[in-house]
Amino acid sequence: MSRALCFLVCALAFLASPLASAEIVEHSFHVQNLTVERLCSRQVITAVNDRLPGPTIVAREGDTVVIHVFNKSPYNITIHWHGVFQRMTPWADGPSMITQCPIRPGGKYTYKYNVIDQEGTKWWHAHVNQLRATVHGALIFLPRLGNRYPFPEPHNEIPIILGEWWNANVVDVQNQAVATGGPPNVSDAYTINGMPGDLYPCSQYHIYEHKVKRGKYYLLRIINAAVNNQLFFKIANHNLTVVAVDASYTNPYPTDVVAIAPGQTVDALLFADQAVGSYFMAASPYISTVDVPFDNTTTRAILYYDGATSATPVMPLMPATNDTPTAHKFYTNLTSLRGRHWVPVPRQVDEHMFMTIGLSYSVCSTCLNGTTISGNVNNESFVPPTTLSLLQAHFFHVSGIYTTDFPDAPGIEYDYTNASVNNNSSLIFAPKTTKLKVLKYNAVVEIVLQDTAILVAENHPIHIHGFDFHVLAQGFGNYDPVKDRKRFNLVNPQMRNTIAVPVGGWAVIRFRANNPGVWFMHCHLDAHLTFGLAMAFVNENGPSPNSILPPPPADLPQC
């Protein structure tokens, strides 16, 4: 073969390779005030590019995403790319004071990261205060060119972003909760793609609608962007087939209801096989606590068939707000599809951790009752630093910002899910600390997440940045290390980045720590994150050049 012919063959081979299909997906986010009309009033919100929800970002596996953020709002801001691994780009992860200092009003920062070994539905949102109520949007990773979905090709894809709305400034709502030491005021409405739907005052025309054709498949990319509530989602007279959760493919799971916690995503196929007409899509709350105020309303949108003439859509029968069996059935019946990006369960565990998660009190001299609600993990209530981000402190070896003595288990064992624990004052008060857990590179970590009955038992959505994890098992009551280990699915467990730990129960997760950096783990209910239900991991460097934490970008915001 001549040199010229060899060169031509090699060039054609490269053009046909996955590397050749990689592109740079570049956008600008202008974060600023926006006045909108909702529920009979005009409200000033913080939004991106004058939109609610914000812009949908679409990239393919292998692409590079570049987002220029210009903060024109009156608040500090960061953007988190929820569920993105951020391998070798930890500075772009976004949680305030964890991987970066916030972008000050008038400032800017460019987030840049690669889409590696991921495809499916994710989302982006603010990670400062309660601003993610209105600063959020869909993040969609398509397969590489030439790769197909492992399910019937949809006729169309429909982002369904479930949200929460306050007739108030959401920052003021959070500040009032912090000042009083109590929970934040409940929301006034839920939304579908930014619209509350016709069941709320002055909202007859504030309802999302989407047209479908009979006999076609549609991929619903469902995102729970609500701040403090898990939700049930249904479409009247239609079944759905779940094909992915948190951007990890699942074995097809047919269902007429989706349970989805804040932070989670669900990809579900809809087959438009019903009579030509109009049907309501609806979302209502799933509340696992008792005697706690919540927004007991329903948002709905309209799915209508091409050619429909019916003026009154059909309404689905929604589950009861406390229907834990329905939620648990959905959460526990999902299994992973062995295919692209599937990762087998690591069998040898290097780090065993037992984490109690829940609520407690902390002393607060300025609060109404001298105490404040305090979320905690292993009786440690997390306090973020104020002068330097955790990742900066780790990279530059700055002492005094955090300690590395986060406990592998609570200080004492007790009957975690028995309400009598509230009689023990040593358990209902949690100290404020900034403690991290150090993980060696490539260590396999297994964590038992145990809900507690301190103050109140609750279903907690726990999100880990930087990793997907296998969900080996879930159950109610206190975790039994002998009996419950027999229930582990080590063959095809679902993979998640956000797990809804059952109310008064537990979940066991496992992952490989192969992503150098500092990674946040926290409850995705903002009311609980605000009060300290969080902790962080330091993942040490590995032996190769591509497993060593890179230096921060030059434009990284400073505190």
Q: What is the mean pLDDT of residues 342-355?
A: 97
Report phi then psi at 392, rounded to 5: -65, -45
pLDDT surpassing 50 at residue 220 = yes
pLDDT surpassing 50 at residue 11 = no
In the structure, what pLDDT confidence band is assigned to residue 18 with cuts at 50, 70 and 90?
Answer: very low
Q: What is the mean pLDDT of residues 319-347?
A: 96
**pLDDT value, residue 2:** 44
**pLDDT value, residue 21:** 62
Report phi then psi at 91, rounded to 5: -70, -15
Return the exposure string of 308-328: e unless at least 16 CB atoms fall within 10 Å of the residue's CB, then b: beeeebbebebbeeebbebbb
11 sits in which H/E element: helix 3-15
Which is nearest to 358 in space by CA: 507, 182, 510, 504?
Answer: 504
The amino acid present at 293, given as its one-letter code, is: P
Quote the DSSP letter at residue 469.
E
**pLDDT value, residue 1:** 41
Count other Cβ atoms within 10 Å, centred on residue 518.
25
Ramachandran quadrant class, 455 (left: phi over 0; alpha: psi -120 to 50; beta: rest): left
Q: What is the mean pLDDT of residues 217-221?
A: 98
Lowest mean pLDDT among 363-377, 394-408, 499-513: 363-377
CA-CA distance, 143 to 121, in Å (whole number)? 11
Task: Name beta bridge partners: 496.
Answer: 469
Mind listing the pLDDT tens digit for each residue in 93-123? Answer: 999 999 999 999 999 999 999 999 999 999 9
Q: What is the mean pLDDT of residues 30-39?
A: 97
In the structure, what pLDDT confidence band is assigned to residue 423 with cuts at 50, 70 and 90?
Answer: confident
Mind listing the pLDDT tens digit for each residue in 40-98? Answer: 999 999 999 999 999 999 999 999 999 999 999 999 999 999 999 999 999 999 999 99
Q: What is the mean pLDDT of residues 341-350?
A: 96
User: Distance of CA 117 to CAs 27, 198, 321, 334, 341, Å?
Assistant: 22, 41, 37, 21, 6
CA 197 to chain CA centroid, Å, is 24
**pLDDT value, residue 108:** 98
In the structure, what pLDDT confidence band is assigned to residue 22 with cuts at 50, 70 and 90?
Answer: confident
Mind listing the pLDDT tens digit for each residue in 248-277? Answer: 999 999 999 999 999 999 999 999 999 999
pLDDT surpassing 90 at residue 401 = yes
Question: Considering just the CA atoms, what is the radius of gyration of the chain in Å?
Answer: 23
Tell me the percentage of the chain whose pLDDT exceeds 70. Answer: 96
Mind listing the pLDDT tens digit for each residue in 274-318? Answer: 999 999 999 999 999 888 899 999 999 999 999 998 779 999 999
CA-CA distance, 535 to 524, in Å (whole number)? 13
Q: Has this prediction a pTM greater than 0.85?
A: yes
CA-CA distance, 18 to 16, in Å (whole number)? 7
**pLDDT value, residue 531:** 85
Report phi then psi at 138, rounded to 5: -80, 145
In the structure, what pLDDT confidence band is assigned to residue 370 with cuts at 50, 70 and 90?
Answer: confident
Quote the DSSP letter at residue 51.
B
Average pLDDT, the chain: 94
Residue bearing tokens 């790319």: 81
Handedness of CA 426, 430, 433, 436 (dihedral sign): positive
**pLDDT value, residue 48:** 98
Opening angle at CA 384, ends 381 and 390, nearest 5: 125
pLDDT surpassing 80 at residue 10 = no
Which is nearest to 503 in space by CA: 447, 448, 460?
Answer: 460
Mind listing the pLDDT tens digit for each residue in 148-190? Answer: 999 999 999 999 999 999 999 999 999 998 888 888 899 999 9
Report phi then psi at 47, rounded to 5: -145, 165
Contact predicate 378/409, CB 8 Å? yes
User: Distance of CA 402 to CAs 51, 467, 537, Å?
Assistant: 38, 22, 11
Q: What is the mean pLDDT of residues 308-329?
A: 95
Task: Name beta bridge partners: 357.
Answer: 377, 451
Judge residue 291's burial from the number of C-beta atoms within 10 Å of its C-beta, 0-12 exposed, 13-18 middle, 19 or more buried: exposed
Judge residue 261's burial from the number of C-beta atoms within 10 Å of its C-beta, 0-12 exposed, 13-18 middle, 19 or more buried: buried
CA 114 to chain CA centroid, Å, is 19
pLDDT surpassing 50 at residue 3 = no
**pLDDT value, residue 529:** 79
Mind listing the pLDDT tens digit for each residue in 506-542? Answer: 999 999 999 999 999 999 998 887 889 999 999 999 9
User: Distance of CA 339 to CAs 133, 342, 510, Å?
Assistant: 35, 5, 19
